[in-house]
Amino acid sequence: MRDTEGEKANPYALAGYGLVALFWLGMVCGVSFLATPVKFQAQALSLPVALEVGNVTFAAFSRVEWGFAVLLMMATVFAYRQRSLLAVTGIAVAIVLAQTFWLLPALDARVAAVIAGNPLPASMHHFLYAGGEAVKALLLAGAGLVALATLARPER
């Protein structure tokens, strides 16, 4: 459990990193890959209502993700600059930044237009958001498992 400069990695930070990453992964899977698609299958739920529920859900989830991002950054710092964890954390935070400040506002405008009865022409925003969720999920799964697996390896 040594980082690239030879310092011993903090096992508590690695455990914290793994737990935060995997818990965040569970939230991403629950919100983005389960709850969101399923609500559109409810026949009694009109499209404008489903979109409004999604709008509120993702606004709240964005704030939750910022909490996870801060916790992950803290665990990364305390893990003594493990390069792989730094890279994953940086990419995950960049995805959350893009989603929060670019994609969610664009998607919110599209939802408002649909609710008002003036849908906008097709765009790539939804695809980019979903792609960001998939990349984030893969990164969190990999990094969380690597961080926890590192704890199980004996010192050499």
Neighbours of 25 (CB within 10 A): 21
8: pLDDT strictly greater than 80: no
Asked, for residue 6, whether it belongs to a domain, the answer is no
> Is 109 part of a structural domain of the chain?
yes
**pLDDT (average), residues 75-95:** 88
> Does residue 1 register a pLDDT over 60?
no
Asked, for residue 23, whether it belongs to a domain, the answer is: yes
pTM above 0.95, yes or no: no
Give residue 71's domain range: 11-151
Does 1 reside within a domain? no
* Between residues 153 and 75, the one the model is more confident about: 75
Cα torsion for 10, 15, 21, 23, to the nearest 10°? -150
Residue 45 located in a structural domain: yes
Q: Is residue 3 part of a domain?
A: no
- Within-domain flag for 2: no
* Phi, psi (deg, nearest 5) at residue 117: 85, 15
**In sequence order, which ranges of the chain are alpha helices (DSSP H)?**
11-28, 36-39, 47-78, 83-98, 104-115, 125-152
Do 67 and 26 meet the contact criterion of CB atoms below 8 Å apart? no
Question: Would residue 130 count as lying in a domain?
Answer: yes
Into how many domains does the chain fold?
A: 1
pLDDT score for 156 = 35
Comparison of pLDDT for 17 and 83, the residue scoring more: 17
Q: Is 2 helix (H, G, I), strand (E, B) or coil?
A: strand
